[in-house]
C-alpha cells in the first residue's frame, strides 16, 4: 500500500513576538524603577527638610513637583524661600535636574527676583539667566559651577546709601585642590565678572567705564564651612586656621588696571588681615584720586604724580632684556597693601577714611 506523507506542523510564530515581549518587560521594569527612585527622592527630600527645620533652617518649596520620566529626575519649585535666625531669602522658580544614570551630576536653573535680608543689610537682584552645575564624588565633589547673565541689583544698609550694581556676565567655578583637599580641606575657586558697573565706585575713582574682574584663589580649610549662621561658620573656619590665598586678583576699569596677590585671614577680633602685593597701570590717577580725598585734589594729584614717577623708574626684567613689553609688563609695582588692626595702609601711608569693621 502506498503511504501518505506525514503532515508537518507550521513554524511557530512565537519568536516574532519575543522581542516585543522583552521590550515590554524592560519598559515595565524601567518604569517601576523610575517611580521607585522618584519616591525615594521625595522621601529623602522630606527627611532633609525636617532635619534642616530641626536645626533652625526652614526651606519652603512652593508647588513642589518631581517629574522627568523616563531618564531624569526633575525637581521644580514655583518659588523657593529660606529662613533662619540671622537671615532669610526668596527666589523665583527653581529647577534641579539629575540623570537617573548619573545621580551625582546635577544641573540647576534659577529664576529671579532674588531678595535677601542679613541683619541690617538687604539686597535685591534680577538676571536674565542663572544656571549652576555640580559633579559629585564619593569623597566630596569634582567640580561646581555657576553662570549668570545680565545680573543687576542693589544692596542697602541701615542709614547708608544703596550700592547699585550691574554686570554683563558672571562665572564662578570651584574644585578640590589637587593633593590638598583630603588633608587640608582646600578648594580652588575662580571668578570672572565682565562689564561691572558700580556708580558708587565710579564717583570714588573718577572713572565711569565698566570694569572687568578676575579672581583666582584657594580657600584653605573650606571643609570647615557648613550651613549654620554666618557668624558661627566664619568663627569655625577661623578657628580651624582658615585663610584665603590670592593667586590673582585683577581689576581693569578703562585705562586703569590693578593686580594683586597675597594671603588674607581673620584676626581675633574677626577683622580681615594680611598683605597684598600690588601692580597697577594708571597709578598716578588712581593714587591721586585716593589721596585727594584726604589732602585735597591739588595735593592728591601731586602725590599721584610723585608716586608715578617713582614707580616709573622701576623696570621689569623683560624691559631690561629688551623684550617687547606685554600688557602685564605695563603694570608698575606699588607698595604692599597691608590689612591689620582694622586699618589699611599702602606702604607706610594709611588709606584715609578706611576702617575694617568685624565681619561678625
Band (48; pLDDT cuts 50, 70, 90): very high
Other C-beta atoms closer than 10 Å to the C-beta of 130 total 23
Cα–Cα distance, 208 to 200 (Å, whole number) = 10
pLDDT in tens, 327-358: 555 788 888 999 999 999 988 878 777 889 99
Residue 324 has pLDDT above 70, yes or no: no
Band (263; pLDDT cuts 50, 70, 90): very high
pLDDT in tens, 211-243: 999 999 999 999 999 888 889 999 999 999 999
105-114: which pairs have CB atoms within 8 A and are 24 or more residues apart? 105/133, 105/134, 105/135, 105/136, 106/133, 106/134, 106/136, 107/131, 107/132, 107/133, 108/132, 108/133, 108/134, 114/89, 114/90, 114/153
| Domain boundary assignment for the chain | 27-146
Cα–Cα distance, 55 to 86 (Å, whole number) = 13
Residue 321: per-residue pLDDT = 42
pLDDT in tens, 68-113: 999 999 999 999 999 998 899 999 999 999 999 899 999 999 999 9
Other C-beta atoms closer than 10 Å to the C-beta of 338 total 18
Amino acid at each position: 500500500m502506498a503511504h501518505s506523507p506525514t503532515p508537518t506542523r507550521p513554524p511557530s510564530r512565537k519568536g516574532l513576538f519575543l522581542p516585543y515581549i522583552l521590550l515590554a518587560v524592560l519598559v515595565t521594569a524601567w518604569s517601576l524603577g523610575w517611580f521607585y527612585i522618584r519616591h525615594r527622592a521625595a522621601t529623602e527630600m522630606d527627611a532633609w527638610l525636617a532635619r534642616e527645620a530641626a536645626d533652625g533652617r526652614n526651606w519652603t518649596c512652593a508647588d513642589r513637583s518631581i517629574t522627568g520620566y523616563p531618564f531624569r529626575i526633575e525637581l521644580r519649585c514655583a518659588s523657593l524661600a529660606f529662613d533662619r535666625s540671622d537671615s532669610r531669602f526668596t527666589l523665583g522658580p527653581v529647577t534641579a535636574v539629575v540623570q537617573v544614570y548619573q545621580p551625582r551630576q546635577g544641573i540647576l536653573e534659577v529664576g529671579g527676583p532674588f531678595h535677601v535680608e542679613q541683619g541690617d543689610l538687604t539686597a535685591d537682584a534680577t538676571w536674565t539667566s542663572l544656571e549652576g552645575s555640580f559633579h559629585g564624588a564619593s569623597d566630596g565633589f569634582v567640580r561646581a559651577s555657576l553662570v549668570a547673565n545680565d545680573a543687576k541689583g542693589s544692596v542697602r544698609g541701615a542709614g547708608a546709601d544703596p550700592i547699585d550694581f550691574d554686570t554683563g556676565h558672571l562665572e564662578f567655578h570651584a574644585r578640590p585642590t589637587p593633593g590638598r583637599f583630603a588633608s587640608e580641606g582646600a578648594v580652588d575657586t575662580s571668578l570672572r565678572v565682565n562689564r561691572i558697573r558700580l556708580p558708587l565706585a565710579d564717583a570714588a575713582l573718577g572713572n565711569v567705564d565698566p570694569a572687568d574682574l578676575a579672581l583666582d584663589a584657594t580657600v584653605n580649610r573650606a571643609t570647615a564651612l557648613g550651613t549654620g549662621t554666618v557668624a558661627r561658620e566664619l568663627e569655625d573656619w577661623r578657628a580651624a586656621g582658615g585663610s584665603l590665598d590670592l593667586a590673582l586678583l585683577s581689576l581693569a576699569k578703562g585705562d586703569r588696571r590693578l593686580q594683586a596677590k597675597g594671603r588674607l585671614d581673620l584676626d581675633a577680633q574677626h577683622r580681615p588681615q594680611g598683605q597684598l602685593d600690588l601692580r597697577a597701570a594708571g597709578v598716578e590717577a588712581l593714587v591721586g584720586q585716593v589721596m585727594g580725598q584726604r589732602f585735597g585734589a591739588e595735593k592728591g594729584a601731586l602725590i599721584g604724580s610723585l608716586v608715578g614717577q617713582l614707580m616709573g623708574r622701576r623696570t621689569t626684567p623683560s624691559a631690561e632684556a629688551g623684550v617687547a613689553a606685554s600688557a602685564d609688563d605695563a603694570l608698575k609695582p606699588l607698595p604692599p597693601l597691608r590689612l591689620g588692626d582694622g586699618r589699611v595702609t599702602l606702604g607706610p601711608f594709611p588709606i584715609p577714611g578706611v576702617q575694617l569693621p568685624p565681619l561678625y
